[in-house]
A and B are shown apart, each in its own frame.
Chain A
């Protein structure tokens, strides 16, 4: 049972260890100096797609909505085993929220053949966790989010979804379907030098607003549910008392605290 799989990926800044500054518009962050890569959740989605293809045959097509630099994320997908890549790009797409982004994806994907669509459960930048389910609704196919395991049986998918507190639920979902993948579903592979070389030769299809048959009112801020008013650094709930000094001085202070609390 070969499966044609579409994976939706996003090119996002790595911010876990970076200090972020709000930009002059107050509606974004300063991007200079940040390293961009494939969204962490999408990395697992791509790996899962490639594993399914390796097991059952079929194709993997990676799609992203993003400017030219997001090409590197698509190249990474190709190097990992995706067969085709499509980049949807247009200045008018700027300011698109999850809803507008899903509409952009929908207008391309509705014309492609697929048995399965995989997305990450959320994106590390905006954290909406909504593009996948919105896309599924637009396409009229069933979906599951927070997916931790995918199996196939009699043309149907059996998936485990993560619930709270370590609990999961198993669902049977008819194909074609969309699954939003949670981290930890697999272990994403490293890319081989061979893979990178091959990927450089593959074509990345680029499409804009007019190519996908949408108007500018469908995308960007005009086509979105949400309009950002301002960004700000969150106020602190409880500010830690910072222990300063050399590692030795810090360790001494920690020991004093633990002693005073009767913890050692």
Chain B
């Protein structure tokens, strides 16, 4: 029976959420194509993870090796090439994560398998394999067809699919595969993890966050919005470009490469809503977005939207809040 591979992602002893998102999608695709969902896990001492994965897949391929202790795309590529050549899966799914983007493109070239990256939907339609991706920072969706092949490869966006447990655990068979790595990888070596510098502010603990993005235009405008955050008893957060410019420290960044937050109130000012940012804040209780662009993706994730220049709205809003506070006092 043909198989659909899911490369389990784990780091520092933890299986990552994307693994279960991919397995959920793999089971759905497997049902439609009469294939078997197979989890593939590479690492050192990851037997416990394999047991966990077995509940979500019909089979778990487990490769353990000292050389796989930390992620190294070259070691992973060698092992996966071996497994894919042997099993010829219909599809191999990896995350569009720091690991997947490092690994999948090279692996696809090496095996001559067509690849689509950063997919948000996957479908077998007749004898065609189609994917949906996004372009222009999420403003446009693209449906594309992969070149016809026996085997396909994709990287999928985090949180594009919702992880679900199978109704009953699948109790997949765990198959230990001897490591095909014969020698050390010398071209690329993992040295260490680098933790972010300890920050002064914990945005994950704040009940109110005022998030700023490119629309803030200039570093000199930051005190104006920081004051709004303080008036609301909250703190200032931001999207990636603000940290890239060095205007705020990295501990204020909300998103996949920053923090995931869930405050009672998130006010997004001049933030377009790239998915990397949205994934970090979309579960906030109340989201109010202010952006000049009526088509900004952020409005699809907000409770209330204001299509206006933030510099026109924020000062008036601050005055109103001051007035209200004065009345109460």
Contacts and interface: CB of A to CB of B under 8 A. Distances in A.
Nearest to B215: A17
B140 A20 contact: yes
B286 A261 contact: yes
Interface string A207-251: 000000000000000001111111111101111111100011011
A193 to B, nearest CB: 23
Contact of B257 (A162, A225, A231, A232): A162
Given A169-B190, A226-B146, A261-B286, 18 more contacts: A99-B108, A125-B136, A127-B137, A144-B102, A166-B259, A169-B194, A174-B186, A183-B244, A184-B240, A226-B131, A230-B143, A237-B301, A238-B301, A243-B304, A243-B305, A250-B308, A251-B313, A264-B325
A171 B259 contact: no
Given A125-B135, A234-B138, A164 B256 contact: yes
Given A19-B295, A184-B243, A171 B141 contact: no
Interface residues of A, number: 81
Interface string B44-75: 00000000000000000000000000110110
A78 B192 CA distance: 36
Contacts of B286: 257, 261, 263
Contacts of B133: 127
A143 interface: yes
In this complex, which of A15, A121, A127 has the most chain B Cβ atoms within 10 angstroms of its Cβ? A127
Interface of B: 11, 16, 70-71, 73-74, 96-98, 101-102, 104-106, 108-110, 114-118, 130-131, 133-147, 158, 186-196, 208, 214, 232, 240-241, 243-246, 250-251, 253, 256-260, 264-265, 272, 286-289, 292-295, 297, 299-308, 312-313, 316-317, 319-321, 324-325
A234 B299 CA distance: 12
Contacts of B108: 99, 134, 225
B248 to A, nearest CB: 12
Contacts of A145: 98, 101-102
A133 B244 CA distance: 23
Contacts of B130: 229
Nearest to A157: B188
Contacts of B144: 226-229
Contact of A231 (B140, B245, B302): B140
B115 A22 contact: no
Contacts of A264: 232, 321, 324-325
Contact of A242 (B245, B256, B307): B307
Contacts of B118: 127-129
Contact of B109 (A138, A229, A238, A259): A138
A140 to B, nearest CB: 10
A108 B191 CA distance: 33
Contacts of A240: 287, 289, 299-305
A255 B321 contact: yes
A169 B117 contact: no
